[in-house]
A and B are shown apart, each in its own frame.
Chain A
Amino acid sequence: MAGRRITTAGLLTRRQQTHNSINGARHETSHHDAGRRCLIFFHDRYGGECPSRLSDSSIDYVIPFDPGGESDVTARFQEPILEDILDVSVNVVHRPGGGGAVAWSEFQNSAEPDGYEIIGVNIPHIIGQPIQRSDAGFDTDDWEIITFFHSTPNALIVPADSPFETLDDLVEYARDNPETVTLGGSGTYSANHLDMLRLEQEADVELTYIPFTGTGPLPGALEGGHVTGVFNYTMLGVQMDDSVRVLAVASEERVPALPDVPTFQEEGYDIVGGAYRGVAAPAGTPDEIVEVLADAFAEANERITDEQEPLGFVMEYISGDEIDDVIDMLAEAYGPILEEAE
């Protein structure tokens, strides 16, 4: 009983509480109303006329991670531009916990589909966690993903003084010495971990993956020689330019910030993957609103490209049907590995 009480308490948001406590029927209609009003609002924004009664609403942009991380920094870039485009204030709200799962399960359970509540979503987290945990509390597709605005391809990075000059050196050594090559990365069954597992399969070697909490401790692990290398994102390779060597990146084409680094495909391993960051609205949000938001994020993306690309991000403009394609592609690539791990 106590448990149930806490569930509703933790999961309900402001608006839904109001509706629930009045009555269930009102709840249904108000969904609709809110949706329509918001629709008018966004369209008028683009048409140039603003209904005054909604001008005090604001968009809550939930970041399911701690402040200071890549998701947060990007959201801070986007915030003023979104405000400018949509003419509505945007609040970045943090709700960290469980590698994102806490915020995602709350969002899917209780957010209002009116376009005023959106949440940052990351692949592969939203694919991996529901498969791997029995009580993740959310589903991979129980929302309307608005867009994926950028990705950070995986990269295999070793210290500059490492004996491994190329990917082949490392693979050959690993073949002769199974499990002795230790690769650090961010999190378990994360993009890093999953693509490292793919490398093991593709190259038929045995490596040892050591998960760290986030990207933060990895530079130290590299500099201090506590791991053979790290399987992390391109950003780290760019950031630690002077002291590391990036052996390969897991993108289809070479990454602009690292022009000399070959892709895994060039080296003969079919590994394309990394983390995709995007935003989602609750399931049932009208398509028109999702489109307006997707356009706004695309516009924001263009305006922040100059700041983000040098950091190692790859800008993406994935929206509409392409979203399903991307999710399907990655779910197919990672699914078997995850199932096997179960």
Chain B
Amino acid sequence: MILKLNTDIAAGCFGLLFCALLWFPQSDLGRLSIIFPRAILVITTLIAIALLIKGLFFSPEERQVEITGSPRRLLVVMAGFFIWWLLIDILGFAVTSFIAIYLLCWYLARVQGPVSTGQLLRWLPIISVIVGSFYLTFRHLLNVRLPAGLLF
């Protein structure tokens, strides 16, 4: 998908927004703590403004960006990652990861043609082993307190 977008203006806007986000919470800090961030904030703002000026007046080219592949798949997978993270808290790491990998596999494999039931069944043990071995390694060998929800 090709979007019509002046990347200079977009980058400039992003820089300004980012600075605005950090500009306000700096009020009650001591001199030693704020001297450096404030200097960088000012520099960032200047660069962002320079980008805006360049984008508005000097760069006739670069007016498009291309998202390769399917933007819908991009957004679905992106959302999938965040749902994965949310569910880790509720269902625990092992269960969530199993479900997430299974669903993502199914969703991504459909690109190359329909997924047969046989294939889905064959994935079951493979994904269990992958998730299980990582879970056991981290939980017991590396002593990481992985989030455990309802089951593990």
The answer on direct contact between A and B (beta carbons under 8 Å) is: yes
Task: List residues of chain A with CB under 8 Å of any chain B CB.
Answer: 5, 8-9, 12-14, 17-18, 21, 60, 91-93
CB B97 to nearest CB in A, in angstroms, measures: 15
Q: How many A-B residue pairs have CB under 8 A?
A: 29
Contact A21 B145 (CB under 8 A): no
From B90, B92, B143, B148, contact of A91 by CB (8 A): B143
**Which chain B residues (125-145) contact chain A, with CB distance < 8 Å?**
143-145
Contact B143 A21 (CB under 8 A): no
Nearest chain A residue, comparing its CB with the CB of B28: A134
Nearest chain B residue, comparing its CB with the CB of A341: B30
Q: Does B89 have its Cβ within 8 Å of any Cβ on chain A?
A: yes
Q: Could you say which residues of chain A place their CB within 8 Å of the CB of B85?
A: 9
From A5, A18, A60, contact of B145 by CB (8 A): A60
A155 to B90, alpha carbons, bound, how many Å?
A: 49
Q: Could you say which residues of chain A place their CB within 8 Å of the CB of B147?
A: 14, 17
Q: Does B150 have its Cβ within 8 Å of any Cβ on chain A?
A: yes
Nearest chain B residue, comparing its CB with the CB of A342: B30
Nearest chain B residue, comparing its CB with the CB of A117: B145
CB B150 to nearest CB in A, in angstroms, measures: 7
With A8-B89, A9-B89, A12-B89 as contacts: A93 and B148 at CB distance below 8 Å = no
Contact B143 A18 (CB under 8 A): no
Contact B90 A14 (CB under 8 A): no
Q: Does B149 have its Cβ within 8 Å of any Cβ on chain A?
A: yes
With A13-B145, A91-B143, A93-B145 as contacts: A18 and B89 at CB distance below 8 Å = no
CB B21 to nearest CB in A, in angstroms, measures: 14
Interface centre among A14, A21, A93 (most CB of B within 10 A): A14
A13 to B90, alpha carbons, bound, how many Å?
A: 11
Contact B148 A14 (CB under 8 A): yes
A13 to B92, alpha carbons, bound, how many Å?
A: 11
From A8, A18, A92, A93, contact of B149 by CB (8 A): A18
Interchain Cβ contacts under 8 Å between A and B, 28 examples: A5-B86, A8-B89, A9-B85, A9-B86, A9-B89, A12-B89, A13-B145, A14-B92, A14-B145, A14-B147, A14-B148, A17-B89, A17-B90, A17-B147, A17-B148, A17-B149, A18-B148, A18-B149, A21-B90, A21-B149, A21-B150, A60-B145, A91-B143, A91-B145, A92-B143, A93-B143, A93-B144, A93-B145
Q: Could you say which residues of chain B place their CB within 8 Å of the CB of A8?
A: 89
Nearest chain B residue, comparing its CB with the CB of A22: B150
Interface centre among A9, A60, A91, A92 (most CB of B within 10 A): A9
Q: Could you say which residues of chain B place their CB within 8 Å of the CB of A93?
A: 143-145
Q: Could you say which residues of chain A place their CB within 8 Å of the CB of B90?
A: 17, 21
A92 to B89, alpha carbons, bound, how many Å?
A: 22
A13 to B145, alpha carbons, bound, how many Å?
A: 9
Q: Could you say which residues of chain B place their CB within 8 Å of the CB of A13?
A: 145
**Which chain B residues (84-115) contact chain A, with CB distance < 8 Å?**
85-86, 89-90, 92
A17 to B148, alpha carbons, bound, how many Å?
A: 8
CB B14 to nearest CB in A, in angstroms, measures: 19
A17 to B85, alpha carbons, bound, how many Å?
A: 15
CB A107 to nearest CB in B, in angstroms, measures: 12
A5 to B145, alpha carbons, bound, how many Å?
A: 20
A6 to B29, alpha carbons, bound, how many Å?
A: 25
CB B106 to nearest CB in A, in angstroms, measures: 26
Nearest chain A residue, comparing its CB with the CB of B30: A341
CB B80 to nearest CB in A, in angstroms, measures: 17
Nearest chain B residue, comparing its CB with the CB of A188: B32
A8 to B88, alpha carbons, bound, how many Å?
A: 12
**Which chain B residues (51-74) contact chain A, with CB distance < 8 Å?**
none
Q: Could you say which residues of chain A place their CB within 8 Å of the CB of B150?
A: 18, 21
CB B82 to nearest CB in A, in angstroms, measures: 10
Nearest chain A residue, comparing its CB with the CB of B143: A91
CB A102 to nearest CB in B, in angstroms, measures: 15
A17 to B149, alpha carbons, bound, how many Å?
A: 6
Nearest chain A residue, comparing its CB with the CB of B88: A9
A14 to B89, alpha carbons, bound, how many Å?
A: 9
Q: Could you say which residues of chain A place their CB within 8 Å of the CB of B143?
A: 91-93
A13 to B149, alpha carbons, bound, how many Å?
A: 9
Known: A17-B89, A17-B90. 5 other contacts (CB 8 A): A8-B89, A12-B89, A17-B148, A18-B150, A60-B145
